[in-house]
Chains A and B, each alone.
Chain A
Amino acid sequence: MSRHHGRTQMTGRDDEIEALMRKALDGDRRAYAACLQLLVPRMRAMASHDLPAQHGHLAEDVVQEALLSIHLKRGSWDRNRPLLPWVRVIVKHKAIDALRKTPSAPHEPVEDHPGLDAPEVDPLAGLHLEQALSRLSPRDAALVREHALGGADPETLSKDFDLSPGALRVALHRALRRLADAARKEEEWTPMS
């Protein structure tokens, strides 16, 4: 599953991704971001493989939930084993969960309606994560959003949230934990068909 020959050039080789994850586990955040960036196209391919065609629109949600899970459980990955099969297990089970939570109402792909062009970018992508964010406390949600914008200056953020730099780190970590929990919960899941 892990080696698509055509894709290899574009998305990095398995061992490159693994080397980045090893560096990331040793505390290299830039390697970590690069590792996740390289994993995402692979994970999209896995998710669309796992989801039946009429539920293809769930793929990005599955990828995002799987990213949260990888982030929180990366410490349990055995460095002596290949990384991609480990990621594969997570994506597969997130896809199963997503299908379980989605009502089986038929989804009509926009492609089936002549005259309506499928949008280039799926406007619903990331909606599931937005819903999970909206279930967090306003402070947790703001913490995640501020860091999501990237390039946020830790000093300004400590001042904005009235937290010491150490407390800010822990607060972000806890907010991400709660985000993963909120994304996994079934309540308030609104069908996206």
Chain B
Amino acid sequence: MDTDELIAALAADDVPAKRPRLLWRVAFGLAVSLVLMLVFWGMRPGWPGVLMMAPLLVKQSLPILVALAAWPLLRRSDPEAQAPLWPLWLLAGASAAGWALSVLGGGDILGQTLWACLLSIPALALPIALALFRGLRHRVEPRPARSGLLAGLFSGGAAAAVYAVHCDEDSAAFFLLWYGLAIMLCGLAGRMAGRRWLGV
């Protein structure tokens, strides 16, 4: 088939061009994830009130910061723009330092709900990641693995913030380690998915 014939076939396709619409898709995925959490996991008793305690405020806001740090890296209109990754590294470093301090202070590392945490965060990340990847599929992604990793980290961070509404493990030694691991797990899964499904 020569190039002119290909152009004729492409011009005959009048299905409107799909736009990435990342913000809308993510809002939808996040809403699904929130509803799932409220229905199947349930809000912890006295949730918004407990946020007045410093470690809980950290537990609730740190994953949101991870998601916020990954977001600008995903939303760029120039396909080859490279945003710096240092905000994510900074968050990881601060969390690791906080975790070490908390362990030295005798915090409870293993807690009671370790597996629930490690499994729930990726499960709640799935609706967000699916919505995000549907949008990214319509975009030119010259570095699919990197974009997939960032999409996974964003979904994991957002899902951890959702899960924190349910989780009642309040030791920083617990949540910094296991939330962090769960978010990284989401990032790795996103990286693999990106290699498989994203591209130019």
Report A-chain residues with C-beta under 8 Å of the C-beta of B139: 73, 76
Identity of the chain A residue whose Cβ is nearest the Cβ of B200 in the assembled complex: A93
State the Cβ distance, A45 to closest chain B Cβ, in Å.
14
B119 at interface (Cβ–Cβ under 8 A)? no
For the complex, what is the distance from the CA of A89 to the CA of B79, rounded to whole Å? 7
A-contact 0/1 string along B1-18, CB 8 Å cutoff: 111111111111111111
State the Cβ distance, B1 to closest chain A Cβ, in Å.
5
- Contact A170/B11 with A90-B200, A126-B3 known, Cβ cut-off 8 Å: no
Identity of the chain A residue whose Cβ is nearest the Cβ of B143 in the assembled complex: A93
Closest 6 CB pairs of A and B: A75-B17, A78-B77, A148-B5, A33-B11, A173-B15, A147-B12
A99 at interface (Cβ–Cβ under 8 A)? no
Q: A86-B79, A93-B142 are in contact. List 18 more A-B contacts (CB 8 A).
A: A33-B7, A33-B8, A64-B1, A64-B6, A69-B200, A71-B13, A73-B138, A73-B140, A81-B77, A89-B80, A89-B142, A94-B200, A148-B1, A148-B6, A150-B5, A172-B12, A176-B9, A176-B13
Task: Tell me what chain B mostly uses at the interface: helix, strand, loop, or mixed.
Answer: loop
Q: Tell me if B20 and A76 are in contact (CB < 8 A).
A: yes
17 A-B contacts (beta carbon < 8 Å): A27-B16, A32-B10, A64-B1, A67-B10, A73-B140, A75-B138, A76-B138, A78-B78, A80-B77, A94-B200, A125-B2, A129-B1, A148-B6, A152-B12, A172-B9, A172-B12, A172-B13
- Contact A145/B10 with A81-B78, A86-B79, A90-B200 known, Cβ cut-off 8 Å: no
Interface residues of A (CB under 8 A from B): 25, 27, 29-30, 32-33, 36-37, 40, 60, 63-64, 67-69, 71-76, 78, 80-81, 85-86, 89-90, 93-94, 97, 125-126, 129-130, 133, 144-145, 147-150, 152, 169-170, 172-173, 176, 184
Identity of the chain B residue whose Cβ is nearest the Cβ of A40 in the assembled complex: B3
B199 at interface (Cβ–Cβ under 8 A)? yes
For the complex, what is the distance from the CA of A152 to the CA of B3, rounded to whole Å? 17
For the complex, what is the distance from the CA of A89 to the CA of B11, rounded to whole Å? 22
Interface residues of B (CB under 8 A from A): 1-20, 77-80, 138-140, 142, 199-200
Identity of the chain B residue whose Cβ is nearest the Cβ of A26 in the assembled complex: B16
Identity of the chain B residue whose Cβ is nearest the Cβ of A31 in the assembled complex: B11
Identity of the chain B residue whose Cβ is nearest the Cβ of A121 in the assembled complex: B2
State the Cβ distance, A163 to closest chain B Cβ, in Å.
14
Q: Tell me if B16 and A68 are in contact (CB < 8 A).
A: no
For the complex, what is the distance from the CA of A68 to the CA of B138, rounded to whole Å? 12
Identity of the chain A residue whose Cβ is nearest the Cβ of B17 in the assembled complex: A75
For the complex, what is the distance from the CA of A60 to the CA of B8, rounded to whole Å? 16
- Contact A147/B9 with A73-B138, A81-B77, A93-B200 known, Cβ cut-off 8 Å: yes
For the complex, what is the distance from the CA of A27 to the CA of B17, rounded to whole Å? 9
Report A-chain residues with C-beta under 8 Å of the C-beta of B79: 86, 89
State the Cβ distance, A36 to closest chain B Cβ, in Å.
5
Q: Tell me if A144 and B17 are in contact (CB < 8 A).
A: no
Q: Tell me if A75 and B14 are in contact (CB < 8 A).
A: no
For the complex, what is the distance from the CA of A90 to the CA of B139, rounded to whole Å? 11
- Contact A184/B3 with A89-B79, A173-B13 known, Cβ cut-off 8 Å: no
Q: Tell me if B17 and A25 are in contact (CB < 8 A).
A: yes
Report A-chain residues with C-beta under 8 Å of the C-beta of B4: 37
Identity of the chain A residue whose Cβ is nearest the Cβ of B140 in the assembled complex: A73
Name, among A73, A85, A129, the residue most crowded by chain B CB atoms within 10 Å (CB to CB): A73
State the Cβ distance, B159 to closest chain A Cβ, in Å.
25
Q: Tell me if B19 and A184 are in contact (CB < 8 A).
A: no
